[in-house]
Every structure is written in structure tokens, then in C-alpha cells.
Structure 1
Amino acid sequence: MEFFDYFVNVPENIVIVSPEFKILAATDRYLKTTMRRREEIIGKVFLKEVYQDPSVLFEENPVIISIRKAMDTKKVDYLDVLRYDLERPTEEGGGFEPRYWEASHTPVLDEAGNVRFVIQNTTDVTERELAKLARKASEEKFKFLTDAVPQLIHTAEPNGACTYVNQRWLDYTGLPFEDFMGNSWQKVIHPDDIYRVTNRQKEAIYAETDFQAELRIRSKDGDYRWYLVRSLPMKDDQGKVIMRVGSANDIHSTKLMVQEILESNEQMSALSDQVQQAFQKAEDQRLTLERLIMQAPAIFAILKGAEHRFELVNPQYQQLMPGRDLIGKSVTEALPEVVEQGFLQILDNVYSTGKPFVAEEIGVEMDWDNTGKVERRYFTTTYQPLVEADKVTGIIAFGYNVTDKVELRQELETLRKG
């Protein structure tokens, strides 16, 4: 087998370019990745007559700049991650396909030390970079949601070390974000509360359970206000704690009111108990909603009773099915298609056992726009039991539409297999 046969079968994206930037050779892997035939590119000026991005001038193209640097220095030049879209062949629909690359340019010298040609070796990192962008978008949405709520929101490692606080924490304490990381958050807790709180926190972390405590937090003015802090462990499918999510709700006025009632008249203790109970009931309802917010949902619905009747849906949920009336109807009446797909059994199980259920990237087939056309869309949804007076009275459903993410991954897998 000749050397050329060895070269074209190298399982790397390699193209060889002359000092005049003309393409001399390319591996089969490179041709497949770039959706071109060998006769279309050989002898053509690289990134000018072929693989041209019309939005970038040839001389200003970072790839050309890197190749020139390799020729000038006669050393390998590495190109950082770069977005460079590829033009699809006409028979495949035309247009440009977003791609991200990492590349190296290696000059090959003749006996006199002159550059004979440059070897470009590229790695298609599109899937990795798109995943980064998706993760960044998700993080930005989570930050927006946590900054929008009135509570002080934080996340922590399974061992309790703080990893994130929302803008409310920074505005209230006047401290920079970095001052809360790890265990530095303890500096804003009242000295008389810190020992009790950290001991209770350690017990909750060890037992992998919820943590709740009333404590005083110092403001940027140096004053302390009472807060009810709640921390919940988030677990993976195997039941392992992967992080903790917590909130702090201002109860200063309520705390002072209760203390004043108790101090003003000991015989009004019965009334203070009622006040505490009313506060606790309201707090339980708030914590249930707060848990939803901390999961960063995009769609939200409350289903009441064993028949799972829609009591509340947010605009994002209703927009999924603009032609359907949901409020007051049971899931069976409003969404008969999902019954056949097993969702009613999921709801019944959550309602009867009181255990939440998480559906990751689950497909749902429905006539979403009431046009007679059934489509499959994908969602990641949490079904959380709604508990009132120690009794399950309904279900909170919240999650987000991940159709674009799933379809993009499927498309990338198809391209990779193809």
C-alpha cells in the first residue's frame, strides 16, 4: 500500500496546505467531517476558494493568521477554540452548520529550512461547546429566577460548603460574592446563634435530611434581623446527595411580634400559640412554593385531589397547549393522550405514596397546538406531593422543556454515526 493510502486513512481531521494556502491533501476523515469531496478542494485556496466564511475577510481569518505564524516562526501554532461554520452541500439543504474547532498548525521544512507545507490537525468540539453553552444558559436562567424571588437563596456542597448565593444576599449584607464561599458565610451570623446553628447543620448533613433554624443575620448597616433558614438535600437517581439548596426568609417582624405578646402578658400564651400556628401554616405553604423556585422550573401546575384537577397553571404551562382549557378539569379530561402514555399512573403513585417523582427528558406525544398534528416533545419534570396538615392533598408539577436539547443531541449522534 502506497504512502498516500496510509495518509488518507489516518483517523484524524488532517489537511495539508502549501505556503500559498492551496490545499495539497486531506484525509478521508477530514472530508467526511467537512462534508466535501476530494476533487472539490484539492488545489483550491484554503478558506478563500473553499470552506470560506463570507463574514470573515481572508487576511483577518484567525485560522489564516495561525498558519502564517507557524510558517513565520517555523514552529507549531495552536489555535484556541474557534467557531467556524461549514457550508452544507446543496443536496443536503445548503446553508451553514454551526461548528466549533480546536486546531494545530505544524510547518514541515525542506533541507534548506524553508517551509514546504503546513499540516493542520483539527478536532471537532462542537458537541462539547454546545453543551457548555446550554449549561451556561441554564445557569443564567437559574440565577435570574433566584434573584427574582424575595428570599435569600444559596446552594452548597453535600458537606455544607457554600457554592452560590443570589443577589439578595449581596444586597442585604453588602459583602462580595467571594466572601460567602466555603464556610465564610458564618461571619454574618449572630455570635449567639452560630454554635447552635452549625451543630444542627452538621446533624442534618450527616443524616442527609432537611435543615431548618431561626437565626439572626447581619445587614450591611450592622443590624441583625431574624431569618428562618431552610436547607434541602438534592439527590441523584441513586439517592446520593449531590448538593444542598437553601433559603432564608425574613421573619423579623413576626418574631418581634410574638416576643412582645409573650412579654406583655403571660396569660396570652394561648393566643401566641395560635399566632405561631398560623405563621407555621403559612410558612409551610411558602416553603413548598419555594422548593419549586429553587428547582428553577420553567413550567408549573398544581393538581388537587385524587382526580388530579388543575387548580393553577402558569403562563408557560398554558402556552404549551394554547387551545385547551385546563383549570377545573382533571388530567384525564383535559389531557386524555397522556393517560395512554402512563402519566396518570405516575400521578396516582405520587399522590398515594407521598413520594416525589422526577422524569428526566421524558417524551410526550400530543396535539400541542390543536391542529390535528401529533408531535413528540421532551420535558424534565418533577412531581412533588403537596402536603397540608400532614396529608397529601395534591401534586405540584414543575419542570422545563428540553426538546431542543434532546433533538440537538440526537442530531449530533446521527452525524457522528453517519
Structure 2
Amino acid sequence: MYRTGQPVHALETTQRFDRFHNGELHDEYFDLTLQPKFDAGGRIEGVMSFAINVTERVRSRQRAEALQADLLTAARRQAQERAAFHNVFEQTPALIALLRAPGHRFEYVNPAYQALLPGRPLLGLDMAVAVPESEEQGFVALLDRVYQTGETFFGAELPFAPEPVDGGPARTWYFNFTYQAYREDGQVAGVTIFAFDVTEQVLARQQREAERQQLHKLFMEAPAPIVILDGPDLVFQLVNPAYQRVFPGRALQGKPVLEAMPEVAGTAIYHSLRGVRHRRNLRGTRAAPDAGPL
């Protein structure tokens, strides 16, 4: 990326961390973007890294895949006993449906799936007829592709908004799910749906992000000078306009304190900042960014 100037995107890259400070490494997954940073002359002067922790998404999909494999294995063992085949699905909290033919006709839905669409007749009807909003929201097109190609589709935290029941309030649900083709006599006969409700997880993350943005907005609009310094080098992670006005014309964002302000080296305030971070580390806690006027 630094040589070409082209951004680099990597999905679900794996890093290992000692999350609990006990010497044991745990896998964490990130969606990573590396973006070039250009100076005023258009030359690349650095790299910006943006990473989103998607560990829960990856692990949810892995659990879904494991459950799907277990259920399909059980289904194959009991292929001649349809009642027993369905009983495997009746008690799972996952939403499960068995669709047949190019029109995706409902052959089976478990109670969890039916509960998403209360009062609607599903069995014997094509997906687009029984759940027209699924076609409007793009899900039927995904089913078409799986049926035509035989390739499994994995959906991560995709929203689905069913029509409100009896004039009730509209609600959007979020699901991790798989659409997987199944075969009879070597030919694709239909598609199975395995979905997990992750609405609470998604809404909680959205709320945290909204709160983070609100806090950022408050910092940026505050009349008092505020900065956030991060890492052992005390890098300027956030600089609000009031603080920048104290140092007009000086680049601060993304630079260590001593690089942006070499004149503070050896001063009491710099040693105080270093001391705060050192004491936090001695207490065995993860060092939080330091906020406040320098």
C-alpha cells in the first residue's frame, strides 16, 4: 500500500492477544483497512490503519456452521424417518426452514422460524408469496443464487424488517445465517436456512457507537482545550479545535508528544503524563488514553 498508494482491505484477519493478562493467548478477528496518508504535495507520508473487531461475528458464524453440520449429520442419519428428522429442529433456538424447488417453497419451518412471522401461513407457499418483504429486501435473490450455483451463502448481521402484525410497531431484526443447498439424486433440490437472532448484540454495539460519537462531538465542540494521548509514546489521538488554536499552524494529530512538541522534553508536565501511565501499568490494568490539556 505504501508503494502503490492503493488502500488495502483485509477481512477477518487473526491476531493473538493475552486478553486476560494471564499468559494465555486468544484469537481475535479484525476487519482491517490500511489507508495512505498524503501530505500537502500529494506524497505519501504515512499509513492510517482502521480496524474493527469482528471476533463475535466470526465466532457466531463458526457456532452456526458447527450447529448446521451437526443438524445435517443427524438429518442424513434419519433420512428415512421424517418425524425424527423434524424433531431435531423443533427444540433448537435457531430459526430453521427447508425450502424446495426454484420458487423456494416452504417444506418445513421450526417453531423459532414461525415465531418471527406469527399468524402467517408458510408451508406449501413460495417464499416471495408467503413473505413478500423478503423479496423486497433482497433475500429471495440470495436464495436464487444459492439454488442456481450450489454455493453456500453466509450472512453476517443482516437486517430483516417483517411487516408489523395487527398495526403494531415496525421492528428490524438482525441475523447471522446460512443458506445452504441440499441435493437429491445429485441435483440441487432446495435450500436450507439456519439463522441466529443477533439483534440485541447489534443494537448494543450501535448504542455504544452512538455514545462514542456523541462523546467525540462533545469533545470537539467543547470550549476548553482537550486532547487524548494514547500509547507509551503519548500519541495525539484526538485534538479538539480549542486545543489546536493554542498551537496554531502546528501539526499534532497522530504524532507523539515529543515529536509535535519537542520543547516539553524534560519538563515536569511531560514527566507527570508519563508517570500517570506508568502507575496504571503497575496496577495491572490496561493503560487508558490520557485526556486533558497538556
- CA 1:62–1:185 in structure 2 vs 1: closer, same or farther (change >3 Å)? farther
Aligned length: 206
Amino acid at match of 2:237: Y
Normalising by structure 1, we get a TM-score of 0.43
Q: CA RMSD in A?
A: 3.2
Q: Report the secondary structure of 2:121's partner residue.
A: helix
Matched, 1:83 2:168: no
Displacement of 1:72 in angstroms is 2.1
- Equivalent residues in 2 for 1:13-412 (5 A)? 13-18=95-100, 19-32=102-115, 34-36=116-118, 40-46=121-127, 48-53=128-133, 58=135, 61-90=137-166, 94-111=168-185, 113-156=186-229, 161-162=234-235, 164-168=237-241, 172-173=248-249, 175=251, 177=253, 179-180=254-255, 184-189=256-261, 191-196=262-267, 197-207=269-279, 243-248=288-293
Amino acid at match of 2:92: V
Structure 2 equivalent of residue 342 of structure 1: none
- CA 1:186–1:24 in structure 2 vs 1: closer, same or farther (change >3 Å)? farther
Query: 1:63 touches 1:79 (CA, 8 Å); kept in 2?
Result: no
Displacement of 1:96 in angstroms is 2.1
- CA 1:245–1:193 in structure 2 vs 1: closer, same or farther (change >3 Å)? closer
Q: Which has the higher helix share?
A: 1
Displacement of 1:200 in angstroms is 2.8
1:24-47 CA deviation, whole Å, 9 max, x = no partner? 111222223x0425x72112222x
Structure-1 separation of matches of 2:150 and 2:286: 52
Q: Percent of aligned positions with the same letter in both sequences?
A: 15
- Which sections of structure 1, spanning at least 5 residues, go unmatched? 209-237, 250-418
1:46-92 CA deviation, whole Å, 9 max, x = no partner? 2x333333xx8x3x6321222122122211111232221123432xx
Structure-2 separation of matches of 1:151 and 1:125: 40
Amino acid at match of 2:179: H
1:221-253 CA deviation, whole Å, 9 max, x = no partner? xxxxxxxxxxxxxxxxx996763442327xxxx
Query: 2:228 touches 2:290 (CA, 8 Å); kept in 1?
Result: yes
Structure-2 separation of matches of 1:163 and 1:241: 18
- Which sections of structure 2, spanning at least 5 residues, go unmatched? 1-82
Query: 2:230 touches 2:237 (CA, 8 Å); kept in 1?
Result: no
Amino acid at match of 1:67: L
Q: Which has the higher contact order (CA 8 A, sep 6+)?
A: 2
Structure-1 separation of matches of 2:97 and 2:238: 48
Amino acid at match of 2:124: G
Displacement of 1:163 in angstroms is 7.0
Query: 1:151 touches 1:247 (CA, 8 Å); kept in 2?
Result: no
Q: Report the secondary structure of 2:151's partner residue.
A: coil
Displacement of 1:127 in angstroms is 0.9
Normalising by structure 2, we get a TM-score of 0.59
Query: 1:143 touches 1:166 (CA, 8 Å); kept in 2?
Result: no
Query: 1:160 touches 1:244 (CA, 8 Å); kept in 2?
Result: no
Query: 1:85 touches 1:98 (CA, 8 Å); kept in 2?
Result: yes
Displacement of 1:202 in angstroms is 2.3
- CA 1:248–1:7 in structure 2 vs 1: closer, same or farther (change >3 Å)? closer
* Larger of the two Rg values belongs to structure: 1
- CA 1:84–1:245 in structure 2 vs 1: closer, same or farther (change >3 Å)? same
- CA 1:161–1:114 in structure 2 vs 1: closer, same or farther (change >3 Å)? farther
